[in-house]
Amino acid sequence: MRKDYMPYRDGDFDTLQNNVYNAAVANRAHWLIPQEVITALDSPRLRWNSAYATFLRPDMRTPAVTQEKNNAKKVYTAAERTFIQGQIMHNPRVTDADRRSMGLHVYNRTSTQVRTPETRTEMEVDFSQIMRHIIHVRDSESKRAGKPAHIIGFELWRRIGGDTGPLFSEMQLIELATRSPHLVEYTSGDRGKMVRYASRWVNTRGQKGPWSEIISAIVP
């Protein structure tokens, strides 16, 4: 059953959301959280902060202010719940100590048998859009886009440029992607360059699967 980490009381919720947001911003690069995922929290977060600050003032606490606070909390709770599930609780780069420091309850996961990924990722690159690569990933066994059991996502590695095919050791990790298709954006200075990609599954314990084949695509 999916766990819900959202406190009921307003003060507890506000403390948790601040802890999670600040930790995610500070550790975004290390935890491989896409910037756009954090940015998506800004609008509901700012609405909540404003509504809650007004609600805390007794002279301003009208029924309309209370209703706006409740509405803002409902919207932000949904966004925060999705963020915590996708980027914190099942992110192998976030430790249980990190989760506890944010005020999140760490459930016992030892009863679930999680095996090291045995299958490979298979990739295709859609380069039909200017300065964009859309990476489609499927499992080598099932041939389906869905992730195998206990897989949180896939590491995406790349090398930009170069005349020969790279070794895996020459590539750089750019993302822990949690879904397919996955968008990689480039700048005008990258247009015409050859990019080579590799990927591999990562399970909920942070264990890595075998490498995919290296594929390549021009930046349009």
Q: What is the pLDDT of residues 32-74, one digit of tens each?
A: 898 989 999 999 999 999 999 999 999 999 999 999 999 999 9
- Position 22 scores a pLDDT of 96
Given a cut of 70, whether residue 212 has pLDDT beyond it is yes
pLDDT of res. 43:
94
- Taking the C-alpha atoms of residue 80 and residue 151, their distance in angstroms, rounded to an integer, is 21
Q: Is the pLDDT of residue 5 over 80?
A: no
Q: Where are the alpha helices (DSSP H) in the chain?
A: 10-26, 28-31, 35-55, 63-83, 96-101
Please give the mean pLDDT across all residues of the chain: 89
3-class state of residue 129 by DSSP: coil
Q: Which residues of 191-204 are buried (b: 16+ CB within 10 A; e: fewer)?
A: eeeebbbbbbbbbb
pLDDT in tens, 97-146: 999 999 998 866 554 577 889 999 999 999 999 999 999 999 998 866 67
